[in-house]
Amino acid sequence: MLDGAVGLLDEDGESALTFRALAARLGGGVGSIYWYVSSKDELLERAADHVMDQVLFESERFHGDDPIDDLRQTAMVLYGAVEHRPWLGSYFMRNSSSQPNSLRYYERVGQSVLRLGLGPRETFHAASAIIGYVIGIAADLGQQPTEEMLRGEVKRDEYLEQAADAWRALDPEEWPFLHTIADEFATHDDTDQFTSGLDLMLDGLRLQAERRARGE
């Protein structure tokens, strides 16, 4: 059942997942689905957690000497999952009682942070910040393309260049930031943008751990 639900979500997004559509795909009646879930929200939660089982499997091997490197690799696995399935971000760990795999992923990230020797508050904030960044950025980058892009009227590079041109036309004294980054935005790679931000966060976390180790 969950494979069928994930298939519908991957093909056409959250709106495509209805009990009737799922029943038709499974070749049964709508009533049979209610034996397993009581609502669409629960179905979405369980579908998201079903995907997280693969995320856990792929990130299980990351347990080396450097916890920061482990956090980076573990975060990249989740990023890949959410980037290709934007619907996943909205339902990640919404209900820990029905999403044990999401909770295990949170625990996995938290255990890597624990190895840094931070206090409980810092550990909580660090693990939450990493997961929040991954889900937020990946879901944003995986959003549905514009109507013009879907119709094939404009390609991604052309769309970015048009936006950059609009920024370049602004008053540089009023918009110095947009003028500074316009060229970078026009040619940027989404994954490079994500990993750069992730590295900034993890570098800060490493410095925080080093300061705590020195007693500062």
CATH at 9? 1.10.10.60
Judged by average pLDDT, the poorest of 6-20, 99-113, 153-167, 168-182 is: 6-20
Judged by average pLDDT, the poorest of 33-37, 59-63, 86-90 is: 33-37
Res. 172: pLDDT tops 70: yes
Give me the percent of the chain exceeding a pLDDT of 90: 54
Mean pLDDT for 68-72 is 97
Distance CA 147, CA 50 (A): 31
Note whether 147 and 123 are same-domain residues. Answer: yes
| Contact in structure between 209 and 125 (CB atoms under 8 Å) | no
Note whether 78 and 183 are same-domain residues. Answer: yes
Note whether 94 and 58 are same-domain residues. Answer: yes
Note whether 29 and 49 are same-domain residues. Answer: no
Res. 144: pLDDT tops 70: no
Mean pLDDT for 31-35 is 74
Compare 190 and 1 and report the one with higher pLDDT. Answer: 190
Distance CA 85, CA 6 (A): 9
Give the pLDDT confidence of 121-137 residue by residue, as tens digits.
999 999 999 999 998 88
Mean pLDDT for 43-71 is 93
Res. 146: pLDDT tops 80: no
Helices 19-26 & 2-12 angle (0-180, nearest 10):
120
Compare 46 and 69 and report the one with higher pLDDT. Answer: 69
Q: Residue 28 is part of which domain span? A: 1-36
Taken in order 58, 10, 95, 201, the sign of the CA dihedral is positive
pLDDT for 70: 97
Please report, for the domain that includes residue 93, its CATH number: 1.10.357.10
Note whether 170 and 138 are same-domain residues. Answer: yes
Note whether 3 and 56 are same-domain residues. Answer: no
Q: Residue 210: pLDDT band by 50, 70, 90 thresholds?
A: very high
Distance CA 18, CA 145 (A): 23
Note whether 120 and 167 are same-domain residues. Answer: yes
Distance CA 22, CA 29 (A): 9
What's the mean pLDDT when you consider all of the chain?
A: 88
CA 62-68-69 angle, to 5 degrees, is 45
Note whether 14 and 53 are same-domain residues. Answer: no
Note whether 99 and 164 are same-domain residues. Answer: yes
pLDDT for 145: 56
Structure tokens at 137: 């950025």
| Residue found under tokens 């499974």 | 26
Distance CA 132, CA 138 (A): 10
pLDDT for 67: 96
Note whether 5 and 61 are same-domain residues. Answer: no
Helices 176-187 & 156-168 angle (0-180, nearest 10):
160
Note whether 91 and 22 are same-domain residues. Answer: no
What is the domain count for the chain? 2
Note whether 126 and 105 are same-domain residues. Answer: yes
Closest CA to 93 of 34, 46, 140: 46
